[in-house]
Amino acid sequence: MYWNSAMPGRKFMVTHEDFKKANERAMELKAQVPRAVSARYDRRARQIVIQLNSNLGIFFSPRDAEGFERATPEQLSEISISPSGYGIHFPRLDADLYLPSLLEGVFGSERWMASRMGMKGGISRSTAKTTAARANGRLGGRPASKKRPTASPKPAMPRRKQSC
């Protein structure tokens, strides 16, 4: 019996039209985006290297990809490519990268990428930032944080004298 399968025509089945549209999108992607033909970790350069079917290659530091920041060379040494050529899988990390996103410069979730951008802004060494920091220093530096007034504790209930 097929207890875990949807019966034909039920709400979980994909229609022929949906299937056709998905195949059309896949063909468009295949025509527009290069696919990975090989991938490896270069220990000397400390880079993940992906060779594309367009005879171009991309490489990047694992520290620049979400989930790979603390990966060891041993964990990065085993890499497999999905049959479509768009998925890069690292079995020892149980992590995946999506090639079209990498080609667009997306190396993690939106939240992770935003936090990385914030870190870059925080270490900026622009002349405007340096000038502002010096001016702030002349004024005595960063102001002390204001302590929030704490609610005074409720007075304890008076204890009744116990009679013996």
Q: Is 12 helix (H, G, I), strand (E, B) or coil?
A: coil
Query: Is residue 63 situated within a structural domain?
Result: yes
Query: Is residue 8 situated within a structural domain?
Result: no
For residue 65, what are the domain limits? 16-112
Query: Is residue 72 situated within a structural domain?
Result: yes
Going by the DSSP 8-state scheme, the letter that residue 35 receives in this structure is -
Query: Is residue 9 situated within a structural domain?
Result: no
From first to last of its 164 residues, what are the pLDDT tens digits of the chain?
Answer: 445 555 555 565 678 888 889 888 888 877 778 999 999 999 999 999 999 999 999 999 898 888 888 899 999 999 999 999 999 999 999 999 988 888 887 777 677 677 766 655 555 677 877 787 778 777 776 667 777 666 655 666 666 666 65
C-alpha separations of 102 from 5, 12, 14, 113, 142 in Å: 35, 32, 30, 12, 40
Query: Is residue 10 situated within a structural domain?
Result: no
Output the pLDDT for position 78.
95
Query: Is residue 69 situated within a structural domain?
Result: yes
Query: Is residue 138 situated within a structural domain?
Result: no
Q: Among residues of the chain, what percentage have pLDDT more than 70? A: 72
Query: Is residue 100 situated within a structural domain?
Result: yes
Output the pLDDT for position 73.
94
If one counts the domains in the chain, the total is: 1
Q: Report the C-alpha gap between 99 and 130 in whole angstroms.
A: 39
Helices (H) and strands (E) in the chain, counts: 5, 6
Output the pLDDT for position 2.
46
65: CATH = 3.30.2020.40
Q: Report the C-alpha gap between 112 and 114 in whole angstroms.
A: 5
Burial readout 107-123 (b: 16 or more C-beta within 10 A, e: otherwise): bbeeeeeeeeeeeeeee
Q: Report the C-alpha gap between 128 and 130 in whole angstroms.
A: 5
C-alpha separations of 80 from 36, 42, 43, 163 in Å: 10, 15, 17, 82
